Structure 1
Amino acid sequence: MAIRSSVPSGPKRPPLLSPRDLSGCEHRLARDSLFPKVESVPDDPSVALRKEAAADHRLRVRDMLHGLHADELNRWADVSDGKTTRARGKATVSAMNAGAKWIWGATLPDDPDSGRRGWAEMLIRVDTGYVPVIVVNHKSFDPGSGAVTSPVWTWQPSLDETRKVRGNTRDTIRLAHLYRMLQNLGKAAPTPSGGVIGLDPTALVVHDLTDALIRYDDLLIRRLGIARGQVPTAPSRIGECRGCSWWSACGPELEQAHDVSLVVNGNLTQMLATVGVRTIDELAGYDGPLPEGLSNLDDPILLARAYLADVKLIRRMPDVVVARADVEVDVDMESYQDDGAYLWGTLLTDNTDPQRPVRYIPFVTWTPLPTVDEARSFAEFWGWLMSERKSAIANGKTFAAYCYSQQAENRWLLGSADRFAGHPGIPTVDEVNEFINSEHWVDIYEAVSRNFLSPEGKGLKKVAPHAGFTWRDDEAGGEASMQWYRRAVGLDGDDVDHTQRVRLLEYNEDDVRATKALREWMDGGGAQHIPLGSELPVPMPVVQADN
């Protein structure tokens, strides 16, 4: 990330676009092109962690491939160590001219005529040219069939009956960009294709770029027009705004304009524009035709009215409903990137027995992930949870386990059962599926979504304060916990910091207590103080001026 000056740099040289410039916010590209970068600042912690994880993954793949080709290193070239982009570009061209079979860390020379710059993790020689291969820190395939894959140590594309492609537009754009650069160098393989090695490096997914190149060519023309100041852009709030250094400029501009993107997502912003709705005021009083593809605008209109009334939470209906049980267990899981789930925190409440204490019980491994000790902590958690479930039912009591947004918990419940199958105490995938699809597994986020709307979002830390809950640690959050975990297990080579272990346990305990507090507040009448959507002021419809 960078701090940028407020003074345009003026026309100096033709823009050179990397694949990153071809995806995401067009207005960011316009500002990046108009204003020079003048001072680098550290990335947001979550961005820094993702970059670090991606770099580590690339190194592991490089070492694996280097080892696979150890008996023919005369055909392997690693040009990633060049000190400058120009030096790496020259080394890449030299390796291609020398006929290297595999070129790791390839940087293609800048191409001012076409406005391109780019680099690939690897180039593989095929026939008389090269195909680009990229290494990404996300999945490139799923179980299934229909993908075209190749062994990672060679280029032998064939139909794969065990894998299906997990599509990623950014990946195909990058491959098309690199293939065009190879074409301009006269070094592209005859068949337009490229490869992706994802999180699972057991196969290389092969992409036919024939159709992608057509879309890419049109995209490049538009993006070059933006970078040259020939295509106008305007700010609009989207997901990437959270980590963009231009938000300090775009945010106030959008707020001043009451831009509708402040209360609805990017896709709906575009759909509303087709019926002339561009401001929050226009949406709040809208009574016109629906955008194509929408059955109603009830929720967006309520969110707009809430924004104008400065209301942070809205009740959808008079009576708030949430599932309750005699024995309740709140569950919150902590994971570290894709390496594993190191902590399953639980809070047990027996509503039929006031003498039984409300207990926070963590099931944790402090062995740095990935580790087989994760199987031990997960098995202990699962065994305890199923024991409490079985005991409650045997004693004629109702039982429910609660989480907040089950997507993450379900991923690691199923993933742990799969990865550690056969270890002591590990359930089968079928047993996990039976539980998460039963009435005993309740998602409080879904209950909040059924009962409330919020212009600020429905994350636990946004909603639980309405129930009077506060976290002990002002820095508590998913991004901060990643840094705490690194110090808690000495992941950076430093001594283990036991204070960070305490911090993580307290953060996890607060999360499960927040879920409990929110559920009891919803069921106990506290939520009746939240205004109903029907009670919000209804502004007069905005009259659209004739052009």
Structure 2
Amino acid sequence: MTVLLGAYAARSCPVKTHHAYDSTIERTSWEPDESLAELFEGGLEFETHILDTFAASLDGTLADLRPLREQSLAARTDACLQAMRTGVEVILGGWLPVDLAGQRTGSPDALVRGIDQIDGTPRYHPVEVKWHKIIERRGLKRSQSSTPPLAYTTLASPRPLPTLVVEGYGVRVASREPDLIQLAHYHRMLAAAGFATVDHAAAAIIGTDDVLRQAVLAWVDLAEPLVRTFSRSQPGGWRLRSLLERYDHEHAFRIDVAVAAQRRRAAGGGTGQADVDRPPLVRPIVTRECGRCQWWERCLPLLDPEDVSLRIDKGPLDVREIAALRRLGVGTLTELASADLDQLLVAYLPEVTHRSGAESRLKVACRRARMLLRGDPFERETSGRIEVPAAEVEIDFDIETSAQGRVYLWGFLLHESGGSPEARYVEFSRFAELDSSAELSLAREALTWLRGLVDSPRSIRVYHYSEYEVVAMRALAARVDDPLLSWAADYAETEFVDLLEIVKAHFFGASGLGLKVVATKAAGFAWRDDDPGGLNSQSWFTEAVHGENAELRAAARRRVLAYNEDDVIATSRVREWLRAC
């Protein structure tokens, strides 16, 4: 069977490619859990919305090929080729011709026409829609570096002829490298079909950013050296490579992985017995992908229960770091915890020069390994009493957001000295699909209540865990000119107490210092829900709004409110625990 890889192969774990081509591996019947399904569906909804808006906004010619997705591959490919040959400015949902020589197949979200090639052939650039932010703010030091500033075009005029530029912002190359590698896959396919060249290797992503108050195409030159990678030949052990170079390396490796996997099929004869003389080219290493991967149930039995990548899930070492440790005979918690770090680092550091701070990362991982083996979730790093600001009225605060990022629930736990010994839960919610106006209206309702307490003669403190709430309030205030929202954003910046910052100042956590970890393992709190979590709450919100009947919707609303109430109770318990330390 010919190996043909899609655009996600090079950006994803190579073990997926192995399993897909190794017939000795039993197929899975995996389906994503409800929180992951909601995440996927939300991304698809966002993509559909953006592409629909793109089509409606465009001031040029358009070929929307999305309605052809149920037709044959030949029909979809022919339609895309015809649109490119005629020079349509934007093509949505086009299926590129299979690249047999490059062993590639794929369909970008959009294609945008650029500067024609020397012979007059239209040139096209791939565009992907992603349900996350792609633009970052850059400080003065980074703005003066070789990293290019943000280059963008609009949905109305998307062609990069040329792009518009905004100083002080840029594309998140490091954290969004997988997205950019996916675009490199499409660029190679366009080049194979005669519609792209390396000298104009631009590609764009449309993310959820609102930096420019509208959806924009953020452009990146795939041929520009932007990515720090390992290089044994360089004096410093690393060099900058282009995204095309990164993609070519990863794609070629996965071709090798697939071919080796097919040989196992031939050797095993399809009987399920793998040929021991043909081991896989790759072994599972736990990454963030694993939690949403169809092959996880096949990979888990292949891992040692103490595998470092499996057990250390906070500040985890990356794939190359884990692979380097394994080559040096360090694969489990016990092996890492008992290693002579000074001796290990001599051999280890030259293999991980792609990472800055590799030595400190390994030392932290070793510390976590020792704590996990001892069963110690936390280590105190200071001595003496921990100071937590107090007040006559103490309020624990937490918000909940929908999959679209709208704040639909403001939850408060009110403790009043001299009053009832029982804390009182106060919530402001809208179980409906909120638009910007409705979200702001709910925020005003909640913050009017809070302002009334702050303006009373009693002293007030508001406690939260992490900066999420403050960032959300700041974003709401930036959206409109509203005195109440501006007051709330300023008040939160100066008067709110972030308990996470206090915890971080005094403790180190083997599994991190998130609220769920600290509240359960340190403060002894237990959530009523069997599966509490932010992603899960988003799926419950969807059920509360769109459930099939009133009973299901009411049950989901109760579940969300109980979860939010438990979050603020957990925050108060952490506060009590800190004061008792």
TM superposition score normalised by structure 2: 0.77
Matched, 1:202 2:251: no
1:175 aligns to 2:230 (yes or no): no
CA deviation after TM superposition for structure 1 residue 345, in Å: 0.4
Contact 1:124-1:133 at 8 Å conserved across structures: yes
Aligned counterparts of 1:447 and 1:238: Cα–Cα separation in 2: 29
SS state at 1:88 partner: helix
Residues 167-217 of structure 1 deviation map (CA, whole Å, 9 limit, x = unaligned): 321222122111111111112267222222222553222222223223322
SS at structure 2 position matched to 1:20: coil
Equivalence map 1:74-113=2 (5 Å): 76-83=63-70, 84-113=72-101
2:200 paired residue number: 191
Match among 153, 157, 165 for residue 162 of structure 2: 157
Match of 1:213 in 2: 244
Residue 135 (str. 1) matches residue 200 (str. 2): no
Counterpart position of 2:234: none
1:487 offset after TM fit, Å? Answer: 2.4
Q: 2 CA distance for matches of 1:472 and 1:437?
A: 31
- Give me the whole-angstrom Cα distance separating, in 1, the residues matched to 2:8 and 2:549: 32
- AA at the equivalent of 1:414: R
How far apart are the structure 2 equivalents of 1:316 and 1:142? 33
Letter in 1 for 2:444: A
Alignment of 1:444-463 (within 5 A): 444-463=499-518
Give % identity. Answer: 30
Distance 1:286 1:138, change over 3 A: same
- Matches of 1:403 and 1:38 in 2, distance apart? 45
Q: Identify the residue that residue 166 of structure 1 maps to in structure 2.
A: 172
RMSD over equivalenced CA pairs, Å: 3.2
Cα distance per residue 1:236-292 (max 9 Å; x no partner): 222222222333343344334644652261236467568764331222223332465
Task: Note if contact 1:149-1:158 (Cα within 8 Å) is conserved in structure 2.
Answer: yes
**Does the Cα contact within 8 Å between 1:260 and 1:283 map onto a contact in 2?**
no
Cα distance, 1:269–1:232 mapped onto 2, change above 3 Å: same
Equivalent residue for 2:151, pick from 148, 153, 159: 148
In structure 2, C-alpha distance between the alignment counterparts of 1:333 and 1:482, rounded to whole Å:
12
Q: Map 1:429-508 to 2 at 5 A.
A: 432=489, 434-438=490-494, 440-466=495-521, 467-490=523-546, 497-508=553-564
Equivalent pairs counted in the alignment come to 500
Residue ranges of structure 2 left out of the alignment (5+ in a row): 144-148, 225-242, 262-279, 350-356
Judge which range, 31-40 or 152-161, deviates more: 31-40
- 1:390 and 1:285 map into 2 onto residues whose CA distance is 57
What CA deviation, in whole Å up to 9, does each residue of 1:45-67 have, x standing for no partner?
23322221222222222222322
Q: 2:154, 2:82 → 1: CA distance?
A: 26
Unaligned stretches of 5+ in structure 1?
1-12, 526-547
Deviation at 1:491, TM superposition (A): 7.4
Shift of 1:450: 4.0
Secondary structure at the aligned position of 1:16 is classed as coil
- Residue among 234, 241, 253 paired with 2:283: 234
Matching of residue 263 in structure 1 with residue 312 in structure 2? yes
* Deviation of the 1:28 alpha carbon: 3.0
CA deviation string 1:25-73 (max 9, x = no partner):
2333322332467454432323322221222222222222322358x66
Q: Read off the aligned partner of 1:325 and give its amino acid letter.
A: A
Residue 461 of structure 2: aligned partner: 400
Q: What is aligned with 1:364?
A: 429
Within 1, Cα distance between the matches of 2:330 and 2:498? 34
Q: Deviations over 1:377-396 (max 9, x none)?
A: 212333333443454xx54x
Given that residues 176 and 213 in structure 1 are in contact (C-alpha distance below 8 angstroms), is that contact kept between their aligned partners in structure 2?
yes
CA distance in 2, matches of 1:260, 1:124: 41
Query: Aligned partners of 2:63 and 2:309: how far apart in 1?
Result: 53
- Cα offset for 1:516? 0.9
Q: SS at 1:487's partner residue? A: helix
Q: Determine if contact 1:336/1:482 at 8 Å carries over to the other structure.
A: yes
Q: In structure 1, what is the Cα distance between the partners aligned to 2:306 and 2:539?
A: 37
- TM-score (norm: length of structure 1): 0.81
Contact kept in structure 1, 2:31 and 2:294, CA below 8 Å: no
Which stretch shifts more, 360-369 or 325-334?
Answer: 360-369
